[in-house]
Structure 1
Amino acid sequence: MTPDLPIVMGKIVSRLPYVNPADAPAPVREALQAAQPLNFFRIMAHAETAFPDWMRWGGTLLKDLALDPLLREIAILRVARLSDVRYEWVQHAPIARSVGATDEMIHALGRDQINADCFSPDQRTVLQFTTEVVRDVRPSDEAATALTGLLSPREVVELLMVIGQYMMIARVAAATDLELDKPMGASVYGTGG
C-alpha cells in the first residue's frame, strides 16, 4: 500500500450489504444522516444498538482529545499501513494533511520509514509506540518510557484509544471487503482537525 497508487472505485463487492438509512431504525437513521455517506458507516450501522454511540465515540476521538491532532493522524496512518487496509489510508491521508502532515511524511509512512528525517523526535516516538502496540500488543519498556516522557497520562490513554479504534476499523473494513469511497477528508467529521 502506498499513497501513490490510484484509487480504484468499485473493484470489490462488500461481503455485507450496506444499511439503507430509509430502512433503518430511527436512531441509526439519524446517526447516518448526520454523517457523510461512507460505506464504512453503512456497514457499522448493522450494529443497530451500538452504532449511534459508536459514531459519537468516533467523533470524540477526532475532535475532543488533548492528544495533538497530527500525532493522532500519523498514528492512524501507521495502523492503516501495518494492517494493510487501503480504506483507512485513503480516508485518513487527507485528514492528516489537514492537521499538518506533509506529503513527505505521508509517503514515508507508506514506505514504513517511521524514522525518516521528516518526522520530529516526538513523532518518531509516537510512531514507534504505535508500531509496537499493533504488532506486539504490549510495547517494549523502552517505547513506553519514551512515550510517557513525552505525553501526559491522559494523552497516552487517548493514543491507545485511537490505536484500538483504528485497529478495529481496519479489521472490519478488511473482513467485509469494504468498497472504497472517495476520500472525504476532514469534512467527514465536520472539522478541519
Structure 2
Amino acid sequence: MRLVVAATGASGSIYLQRLLHYLGNGDHEVHFIASPYARQVIHEELGKLALPEGTIEHSDKSMNAPFASGSAKFDAMVVVPCSMGTMARIAHGTSESLILRAADVFLKERRKLILVPRETPWNLIHARNAVAVVEAGAILLPASPSFYSLPKSFEELADTVVWRILDQIGIDAPNACRWRETPEV
C-alpha cells in the first residue's frame, strides 16, 4: 500500500510512533509529514521519533509531494494525532500546508482519510468540525483506548487505538486483541 502518515500538534505522539512501528516492516510505501507544532510535541513526549527505514519524509511547507495531487494513486492518509485546529482547517478546506492539501486531495478523490483526534473535552465548534469532516468523507477515529486486552504498558494501551487505525486502512494487525474472539471460560 501507498500511505501518508501525518502528525499535527496535539498530544498523543505515542500513537504516531506505534503506528509507524507497525508500518515499518517494509511492505508499504510510507510518506511522513509533521507540522512544526507536531515536532515540538514529539520532542516533549518522545524525545525523538523513530522513523522506520524507507519512510519518505516531506516538509509541511512543500507542495511537491506526489500525494498533493489527485493524479497520484495513494491508498490512505492518517493524521495521528490530529489537533482540533487541523481538523477545523480540513473541514473548511484551507489547504495552506502539505498536510492540509493532502487531506483535501484525499477527500476530493474519495480516498481513505483517517483523523485521530486526542482532545477532550470538545466544545461545540469541535463537534461541528467533526460532523463536517465526516460528512466530507473522512473517518473520525478518536484516540480512545480500550482496556479489555488488559494492557500492561503505555505502548500496549496505545496499540488498542493503533489496531483500529490499521483495521480502517485494511492492514492486518497480527497481535490485535479482538473482543470475545477467545472462548469464554
- Normalised by the length of structure 2, the TM-score is 0.34
Q: Which has the higher strand share?
A: 2
- Normalised by the length of structure 1, the TM-score is 0.33
Q: Which has the higher helix share?
A: 1
